[in-house]
C-alpha cells in the first residue's frame, strides 16, 4: 500500500518542485525556464524584424530611393483644406504633420463627446416606461450599428450636407450663424492684451468644478446629503468668466461672418467634411455605446431598483444615483474599446477629403516624397500613442469606479 502523505509533506514536495527539485538544477526551475524562453523569443523577434528592415533598406538603396527623416524640413508645396494653426503651402512636411495630427485629435474629441452623450441617452432610453421612447432607442441602435461606417460617412456628406442651400440662400440663426453647402459659420471672439485674465478665470472655474465634485461626493458619503453639483458647476463655468470679463471691461471683440461674393468670410468656419465625419463617427459609435450602457444597467440586480422604490425615490433619481453608478463598472471597459475604435475609424476621413493625419501625411506627403517607411512609421506611432493615452485614462477611471473590498 502507498503511504499517505501528510499536508506538510505535500507542501514541502511542491516547494522543492518549484525550486528545481532535489538536484537543484537551474533548468528545472520553472521561473528560470520562463525567463529564458522570453529572452529567446525577444531575440528571435529582433533578428526577424532586423532582417526585414535591413533587406528593405538595402533594396530601397539599390533602386535609388532615399531614406531618413530629412524630408520633414522640406517645403510641402501644397495647401490643406483646414488647419487649426497657421499654415501655408511653403511650410514644411513637419508642420503639415502637426496640422494633420491636430485635425485628427479634433474630430476624435468631437466624436467621443457626442458619441458618449448619444450612447447614454439612448442606452438609458431603452428602459423608459414610454413605449415610443423605447422603440426609438431600439431603432436607433439596430439601424446605425448595422450599417458600415463608410456608408454613413458618405450618407452625411453626399446626401445630407450636399443638399443644403448655397451661400446666398443660407439657413441662418439671426445675423450670426449661417449654414450652407460650404459649411457652418458662427461668430468668433477676438481678445485683446488682457483677455488672458478671462481665460484664466475659465480654467480656474473648470478646476473648481473638479474640486467641487470631489467635495460633494465625500460629503454625500459622510452625511448622505446631496449637493446641487450641476447647478453650482454651471454657475462657476458661466459666472466666474463673466465676472472677470466685467472687471476687465469685456476685453473682446466679436467678428461676425459676412457674405462677400459667393461665400462667407470671417468668424469661425466648420467645413462640411468635418461635420460629416464627426456626425458619422458620433452616431455610429453612439449606437455601440448605447448597447454597452444597456448591458451595464441590466447587469445590476433588479432588487436594487425595488429597494430604491420602497424608499420612495423617483425613477430618475434611481437611475442617476443607484443604477448608473454601479453600471459604470461594466460600461467603462467597453467605453475604452469604443473610444479607441473611434480614433482608428477617423482614418476614413480620406474618403471625403477631410485633412486628418492619415490623409495629408500618409496620402499626399507620401506620394510626393516617396518616403513610405518613414511616413507610415510616424503615423503608426501617433495612433498607437493616442490610443495608449486613452487606454491609460480609461483604466484609471475604471479603477476609480471599480468595486473596492472593505
For residue 283, is pLDDT > 70? yes
Return the C-alpha cell found at 262. Answer: 459667393
- Binned at pLDDT 50, 70 and 90, residue 2 comes out as very low
Mean pLDDT of 187-203: 89
Distance (Å, whole) CA 395 – CA 390: 8
Bridge partners, 255 (sequence order): 188
Looking from the CA of 61 toward its CB, the CA atoms found within 13 Å total 7
For residue 291, is pLDDT > 80? yes
The helix, strand and coil proportions of the chain, stated in percent and rounded to the nearest 5, come to 70, 5, 25
Task: Look at residue 150 in the predicted model and tell me its pLDDT.
Answer: 94
What DSSP character marks residue 67?
A: -
For residue 406, is pLDDT > 60? no
As a three-state string, the secondary structure of 224-275 is: CCCCCHHHHHHHHHHHHHHHHHHHCCCCEEEECCEEECCEEECCEEECHHHH
For residue 26, is pLDDT > 70? no
For residue 58, is pLDDT > 60? yes
**Residues 126/290, Cβ–Cβ less than 8 Å:** yes
How large a percentage of the chain has pLDDT more than 90? 40
Task: Look at residue 191 in the predicted model and tell me its pLDDT.
Answer: 85
How large a percentage of the chain has pLDDT more than 70? 92
Task: List CB contacts of 319: < 8 A, sequence separation 6 or more.
Answer: 124, 127
Q: Tell me if the pTM is above 0.75.
A: yes
User: Which CATH superfamily hosts domain 93-162+273-401?
Assistant: MetI-like (1.10.3720.10)
In this structure, of 63-77, 155-169, 278-292, the range with the lowest mean pLDDT score is 63-77
Q: Which is more confidently placed, 121 or 324?
A: 121
For residue 153, is pLDDT > 90? yes
When the pLDDT of each residue in the chain is averaged and rounded to a whole number, the result is 86
Bridge partners, 270 (sequence order): 184
Reported as type and span, the H/E element at residue 78 is none
Amino acid at each position: 500500500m502507498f503511504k499517505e502523505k501528510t499536508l506538510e509533506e505535500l507542501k514541502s514536495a511542491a516547494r522543492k518542485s518549484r525550486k528545481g527539485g532535489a538536484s537543484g538544477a537551474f533548468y528545472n526551475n520553472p521561473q528560470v525556464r520562463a525567463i529564458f524562453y522570453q529572452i529567446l523569443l525577444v531575440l528571435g523577434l529582433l533578428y526577424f524584424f532586423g532582417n526585414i528592415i535591413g533587406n528593405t533598406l538595402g533594396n530601397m538603396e539599390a533602386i535609388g530611393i532615399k531614406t531618413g527623416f530629412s524630408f520633414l524640413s522640406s517645403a510641402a508645396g501644397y495647401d490643406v483644406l483646414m488647419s487649426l494653426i497657421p499654415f501655408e503651402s511653403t511650410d514644411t512636411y513637419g508642420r503639415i504633420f502637426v496640422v494633420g495630427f491636430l485635425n485628427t485629435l479634433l474630430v476624435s474629441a468631437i466624436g467621443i463627446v457626442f458619441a458618449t452623450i448619444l450612447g447614454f441617452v439612448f442606452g438609458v432610453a431603452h428602459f423608459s416606461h414610454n413605449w415610443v421612447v423605447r422603440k426609438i432607442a431600439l431603432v436607433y441602435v439596430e439601424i446605425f450599428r448595422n450599417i458600415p461606417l463608410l456608408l454613413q460617412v458618405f450618407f452625411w456628406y453626399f446626401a445630407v450636407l450636399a443638399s443644403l442651400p448655397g451661400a446666398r440662400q443660407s439657413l441662418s440663426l439671426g445675423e450670426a450663424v449661417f449654414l450652407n453647402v460650404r459649411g457652418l459659420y458662427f461668430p468668433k471672439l477676438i481678445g485683446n492684451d488682457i483677455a488672458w485674465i478671462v481665460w484664466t478665470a475659465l480654467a480656474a472655474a473648470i478646476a473648481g468644478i473638479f474640486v467641487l465634485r470631489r467635495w460633494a461626493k465625500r460629503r454625500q458619503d459622510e452625511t448622505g446629503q446631496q449637493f446641487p453639483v450641476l447647478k453650482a458647476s454651471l454657475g462657476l463655468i458661466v459666472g466666474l468668466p463673466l465676472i472677470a470679463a466685467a472687471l476687465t471691461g469685456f476685453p473682446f471683440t466679436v467678428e461676425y461672418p459676412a457674405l462677400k461674393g459667393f461665400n462667407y468670410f470671417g468668424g469661425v468656419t466648420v467645413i462640411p467634411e468635418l461635420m460629416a465625419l464627426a456626425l458619422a463617427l458620433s452616431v455610429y459609435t453612439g449606437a455601440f455605446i448605447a448597447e454597452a450602457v444597456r448591458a451595464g444597467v441590466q447587469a445590476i440586480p433588479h432588487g436594487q431598483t425595488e429597494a430604491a422604490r420602497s424608499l420612495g425615490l423617483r425613477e430618475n433619481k434611481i437611475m442617476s444615483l443607484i443604477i448608473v453608478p454601479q453600471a459604470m463598472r461594466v460600461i467603462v471597459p467597453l467605453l475604452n474599446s469604443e473610444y479607441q475604435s473611434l480614433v482608428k475609424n477617423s482614418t476614413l476621413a480620406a474618403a471625403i477629403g477631410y485633412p486628418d493625419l492619415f490623409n495629408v501625411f500618409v496620402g499626399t506627403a507620401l506620394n510626393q516624397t516617396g518616403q513610405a517607411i518613414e511616413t507610415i512609421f510616424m503615423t503608426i506611432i501617433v495612433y498607437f500613442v493616442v490610443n495608449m493615452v486613452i487606454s491609460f485614462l480609461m483604466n484609471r477611471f475604471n479603477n476609480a469606479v471599480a468595486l473596492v473590498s472593505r
